[in-house]
C-alpha cells in the first residue's frame, strides 16, 4: 500500500498553493466576463444570457480537464485504490455542486448588471465571512468561545469588501478627469 507523503515540518508549501488560488480566483471573474462578451460572433443577435451560458459551458469543459482528467491521472500514477467511501464521496460531490452553483451565480450576477470588480469584491469579502460563521456555528460549534478579535475580523472583512466596492478607481471617471493638455506659450518675435 502506498504511503502518503507528509510535508516537512515548518514547510510553507501550502502558502504557495493558497496564493495560487488567490491569483486564479482573482482573475476568474474578469476572464469569465470577458469570455462571455467574446462569445458574440460578428453579426450575431443572440441575447447576452445565451452568451453567458456558452461561456459557462467552457468553464465546465475546463473543470472536466482540470478536475477529472488531472486527478484521475494522478490517482493512477500514485497507484491509489478506486474505492470511495460514501461519506467522502457525497460531501465531495456536494462541494463540487456548491462550487459550480457559485460559478454560475457569478455569471448570473454579471447578467443582472453587476460589474466584475464589484461582484468579485463582494464574493471574496463575503466568502471568508460565510466560511468562518458556518465553521463556528455549525461544524466546530465553538460559538460560545467567540473572541472580540474574531468578531472584529468579520466586521473588518465585510467593511473591506464594501470599501473596495465603493471606492474602486472608476475608469470612465478617470478618463473624464484627465486634465486637458496645456498649450505651450507662443513666443512673439
90: left (phi over 0), alpha (psi -120 to 50) or beta: alpha
Q: pLDDT class for 117, splitting at 50, 70, 90?
A: confident
Give yes or no for a contact between 122 and 166, defined as CB atoms under 8 angstroms apart.
no
pLDDT above 70 coverage of the chain, percent: 87
Whole-structure pTM value? 0.76
Q: pLDDT class for 47, splitting at 50, 70, 90?
A: very high
Across residues 42-54, what is the average pLDDT?
Answer: 92
**CA distances (Å), 73 to each of 62, 68, 78, 114, 130, in order?**
16, 9, 9, 38, 33
Q: Give per-residue pLDDT as tens, 2-16.
A: 555 677 777 888 899
Give yes or no for a contact between 168 and 121, defined as CB atoms under 8 angstroms apart.
yes
Give yes or no for a contact between 36 and 54, defined as CB atoms under 8 angstroms apart.
yes
Q: Give per-residue pLDDT as tens, 138-160.
A: 999 999 999 999 999 999 988 88
Lowest mean pLDDT among 72-81, 84-93, 175-184: 175-184
Give yes or no for a contact between 109 and 33, defined as CB atoms under 8 angstroms apart.
no
Amino acid at each position: 500500500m502506498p504511503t502518503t507523503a507528509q510535508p516537512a515540518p515548518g514547510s510553507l508549501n501550502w502558502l504557495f498553493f493558497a496564493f495560487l488560488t488567490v491569483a486564479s480566483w482573482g482573475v476568474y471573474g474578469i476572464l469569465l466576463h470577458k469570455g462571455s462578451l467574446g462569445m458574440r460572433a460578428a453579426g450575431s443577435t443572440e441575447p447576452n444570457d445565451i452568451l453567458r451560458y456558452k461561456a459557462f459551458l467552457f468553464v465546465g469543459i475546463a473543470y472536466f480537464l482540470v478536475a477529472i482528467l488531472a486527478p484521475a491521472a494522478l490517482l493512477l500514477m500514485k497507484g491509489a485504490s478506486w474505492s470511495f467511501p460514501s461519506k467522502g464521496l457525497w460531501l465531495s460531490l456536494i462541494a463540487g455542486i456548491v462550487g459550480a452553483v457559485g460559478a454560475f451565480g457569478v455569471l448570473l450576477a454579471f447578467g443582472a448588471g453587476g460589474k466584475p470588480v464589484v461582484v468579485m469584491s463582494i464574493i471574496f469579502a463575503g466568502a471568508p465571512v460565510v466560511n468562518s460563521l458556518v465553521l463556528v456555528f455549525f461544524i466546530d460549534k465553538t460559538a460560545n468561545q467567540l473572541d472580540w478579535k474574531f468578531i472584529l475580523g468579520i466586521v473588518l472583512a465585510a467593511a473591506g469588501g464594501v470599501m473596495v466596492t465603493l471606492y474602486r478607481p472608476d475608469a470612465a471617471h478617470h478618463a473624464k478627469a484627465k486634465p486637458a493638455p496645456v498649450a505651450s506659450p507662443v513666443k512673439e518675435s
